[in-house]
Structure 1
Amino acid sequence: MSIQSQGRFLANVFPLVAGQAFFQTAGILVAALSGLVGYSLATDKALATLPVAMTSVGTALSLIPASMFMKKYGRRRGFMLGIGLGFLGGAVTSFGIYLVDFWLFVLGSMFVGAYQGFAQYYRFAAADAVAEGEKGKAISWVVSGGVFAAVAGPSIARFTKDIGDIPFLYSYLSLMGLSLCALLAVLRIRRDAGQAAAQEQHRAVRPLSEVLKRPAFIAAMASSTVGSAIMVMVMTATPITMKICGYDTDDSSLVIQWHVLGMFVPSFFTGDLIQRFGAVRIVSCGILIFLLHLSLALSGTELFHFTTGLIFLGIGWNFMFIGGTALLTKSYASGGQAKSQAFHDFMVYAVATLSSFLAGAALDRWGWSTVNLIAAPLLLAAFAVVQWYALTERKSQITR
């Protein structure tokens, strides 16, 4: 990469990395505290996790409208609208805490979820803004914003939850500050970095039904959905399992923090690996790393097994998710990216949300070992689909 092209790459991608970092910081803060706030505000304690669930609902409901908005008005305006929803969510949740109004807090949580829905497109904006050979690297850079969030999110939650007379109030007021920081970042998005989706409407667009049949799209869906489903299921079950095994909250928090770092630290080089070895090999490597987690999870319940296994779980997710996103960009080379991206992320998020709900039931009925064993056939299925895609690509290249 020449100095000029490298400068263009950084100018297009770095504001998106910053936007991702601030969005994920807000997301991790909310994930850490919403259950606790819900429990303190809800009269019926059975509803304590409703704010968490409604955040997920807000995200799922906003994914497709966000994509359609960006297709018509461009990425930058779409991100600004999403950030506005995040700012509003911070304000409404803060009022809910101040007024001790549970349902106002639930409403604000939905706005925060909607912000997260718009923010899912940062990595796609990065891919659209660079040359074909740099897409995997751009996606990887954006996802690496989670490294900052993995440190900043828990730190902000820890330092702000006890400020003032009202617990958690300043934590949720900080969402407004994080939204303003994200706004400053996306305002620096180059105009050409947000035009790819908008320009799509000026050329022939491949129908979504046709895109869904493409081997690249099928392989992308298999990689992203399986990787996310397994990661969410195991991550959700881990703190409960550790509590059953006699570990305290500090131990499980440390394990989850190492897991989050495992999810995002590899992003600094995953894109380069995809550029050098191809997305199929990286996804396949991610599946093998998932199996390393599986072997550790089944071999014991010492702190070493949880910590090391969850690190491998995070790295495996990183390779499968970024590799899957890179495959997705190949499926709409002839147009149709707005609908394809929206459908892909909606399905990934729906499957991950479902797996989080199933994790508790599976753990309660069958135990920790079975929760992990569920991953094995899913990983084998994803591996088969990705290898099938690679075979079809080789055949198509031979016939050209």
Structure 2
Amino acid sequence: MIDDRAKNRNTYILGASQVFGGANGPIVISLGGLVGQHLSSNPALATLPVSLYNVGLALGTLPAAYFMRRLGRRNAYILGAFLGIAGGLIAAVGIVAKLFLMFCLGTMAAGFYGSYVQSYRFAAGDEMSGAQRDKAISRVMVGGLLAAIIGPQLVIWTRDSLPGFPFAGSFISQAGLALLAIPLLLTYRSTSPAARAGRGDGGRKLSEILTAPRYVLAVAAGVVSYGLMTFVMTAAPIAMVGHGHSMDNAALGIQWHILAMYGPSFLTGRLMAHFGKERVTAIGLVLIGGSAMTALAGLDIGHFWGSLILLGIGWNFGFIGATAMVSDCHTPEERGKVQGANDFLVFGTVALASFFSGSLMFSSGWETVNWFVFPAVALVLVPLVWQSARLPRTA
């Protein structure tokens, strides 16, 4: 029997790696649209760097799953970190050279790195079983809490570190964070049954799994939770600046949002163990709807920040709950293809949401962006509430 200390050690390694890898996204998201406005001659393309980050995140999920099966998770994660280093440096060169396409290439490479970082949560869950699995997922996501502080603060501290090239230093610091993750990842040793057994390609056919009602609902919950969060957050910095708020306030708004995304992770695992993951996921969707209501109530900084905080908490409950639901839908042998397919569907939708968000923001405004939240929430919330009502409450 594998020593529980080894399993717990891996959880903490993955959580610490999440600190560095999790800061990757906030830097791109908080700056991508603002740098895009400066580099692009077409204002409608301002959010393209953020959208391409999400495209990289989506397209990277299946290759990441492949490399994890063939090389093992540790080696694949180190490969991902090198992609993160490359992404930050390419984006910085794009800013210095005033090349919009190169900047976009850098943010897309950062998205490829993000596809490896996103699987840390599954890796932690695979080490455990039952309620301990849900708690392990939450503990890894706690690493994002420090990432929420580090990422936006680095933006503020380093944005003028290269005189004449605003924000180039911030992307160099993004590369530095990916570099710092490598020594941690070198100490990771997977103890999950599938990793010891081999490739993890056995079990049911993916087509059979994709049509299972439980899996469909779990994926849909993740798609809506993450998709709506990205849809609103992509537009938020531009909306704040457009309505007279400073860039610092926009960056701090994203920081509060990401703190809210990861801060509840200290409790989310326990809440799922007590109330059930489906109920916690449903509460998350309700909070996302509440964030849209707050955004529609006014345009001062309190409404923007309040909306982003509710959006972050809703994402935490919705996405972590959906991740735990997915983990209940496969055997150890099926984990690679099931987790890879889930992330491809989630982050493919996220990429589409960020593209649509930017064009909708410029064509129709911030209010319209938030009105789109309600039908998407209802689409998943109704079947999720119906299913959770049929489940016994866990003691």
The residue that corresponds to 2:183 in the other structure is 184
SS at match of 2:203: coil
Q: Given the superposition, is the C-alpha separation of residues 339 and 250 from structure 1 closer, same or farther in structure 2, using an over 3 Å criterion? A: same
Instruction: For 1:99-114, list aligned pairs within 5 A.
Output: 101-114=99-112
- Could you tell me which of 318, 336, 348 is aligned with 1:320? 318
Q: Distance in 1 between matches of 2:237 and 2:190?
A: 44
Give 2:265's aligned residue. Answer: 267
Q: Distance in 2 between matches of 1:294 and 1:101?
A: 35
Distance 2:43 2:358 in 1: 18
Structure 1 residue 41 displacement after superposition: 5.3
Mapped to 2, the partners of 1:295 and 1:44 lie a distance apart of: 31
- The structural deviation recorded for 1:91 is 3.7
More deviation, 356-365/380-389: 356-365
Letter in 2 for 1:315: I
Structure 2: distance between partners of 1:377 and 1:163: 44
Aligned to 2:169: 170
Contact 1:85 1:111 in 2 (8 A): yes
Q: 1:204 to 1:110 in 2, by over 3 A?
A: closer
Show the 5 A alignment for 1:189-228.
189-192=188-191, 196-197=194-195, 199=197, 201=199, 204-228=202-226
Q: How does 1:1-400 map to 2 (within 5 A)?
A: 7-38=5-36, 49-97=47-95, 101-165=99-163, 167=165, 168-192=167-191, 196-197=194-195, 199=197, 201=199, 204-243=202-241, 245-333=243-331, 335-364=333-362, 366-390=364-388
Structure-2 separation of matches of 1:63 and 1:303: 36
Q: Structure 1 length normalisation: TM-score?
A: 0.86
Query: Per-residue CA shift, 1:239-273, capped at 9, x if unaligned?
Result: 44444544343433333322221111001110111
Amino acid at match of 2:288: F
- Give the deviation of 1:349 after TM superposition: 1.1
Deviation at 1:292, TM superposition (A): 2.8
Is this contact kept in 1: 2:47–2:358, CA < 8 A?
no
Instruction: Decide whether the 8 Å contact of 1:129 with 1:196 is kept in 2.
Output: no
Deviates more, 1:221-230 or 1:50-59: 50-59
How far did 1:343 drift?
A: 1.3
Larger Rg: 1
Partner Cα distance (1:373, 1:47) in 2? 22
**Counterpart Cα distance in 1 of 2:107 and 2:292:** 34
Identity rate, percent: 38
Q: Which runs of 5+ in 2 are unaligned?
A: none
Cα shift at 1:10:
2.9
Alpha-carbon shift at residue 58 of structure 1 (Å): 2.4
Q: Is the 8 A contact 2:214 2:329 kept in 1?
A: yes
Q: Is the 8 A contact 2:46 2:358 kept in 1?
A: no
Q: Is the 8 A contact 1:223 1:320 kept in 2?
A: yes
User: Distance between the aligned counterparts of 1:267 and 1:144, measured in 2?
Assistant: 5
1:133 maps to a residue whose letter is A
Gapped runs of 5+ residues in structure 1? 395-400
> Is the contact made by 1:287 and 1:320 (CA closer than 8 Å) also made in structure 2?
yes
- Aligned partners of 1:228 and 1:202: how far apart in 2? 26
Residue 39 of structure 1: how far off its partner (Å): 5.2
CA contact (8 A) 1:222 1:385 kept: no
Alpha-carbon separation, structure 2, partners of 1:85 and 1:17: 19
CA distance in 2, matches of 1:361, 1:88: 28
Residue type of the partner of 1:142?
Answer: V
Whether the aligned pair in 1 keeps the contact of 2:36 and 2:45 (CA below 8 Å) is yes
Amino acid at match of 2:159: K
Task: Decide which moves more: 209-218 or 383-392.
Answer: 383-392
Contact 1:222 1:386 in 2 (8 A): no
Query: Is the contact between residue 201 and residue 334 of structure 2 (CA under 8 Å) also seen in structure 1?
Result: no
Deviation, structure 1 residue 98: 5.1
Deviation at 1:287, TM superposition (A): 2.3
RMSD, matched Cα: 2.9
Distance 1:45 1:83, change over 3 A: same
Tell me how far apart the structure 2 counterparts of residues 287 and 188 of structure 1 sit (CA, whole Å): 37
Residues 245 and 280 (structure 1), Cα distance of their counterparts in 2 relative to 1, 3 Å cut = same
* Equivalent pair of 1:197/1:337 in contact (CA under 8 Å): no
* Residues 270-279 or 352-361, more deviating: 352-361
SS at match of 1:192: coil
**In structure 1, C-alpha distance between the alignment counterparts of 2:343 and 2:298, rounded to whole Å:** 34
Distance 2:36 2:371 in 1: 33
Query: What is the CA distance between 1:152 and its match in structure 2?
Result: 0.7
Could you tell me how far apart the structure 2 residues matched to 1:362 and 1:51 are? Answer: 16
Contact 2:33–2:238, Cα closer than 8 Å, also in 1: no
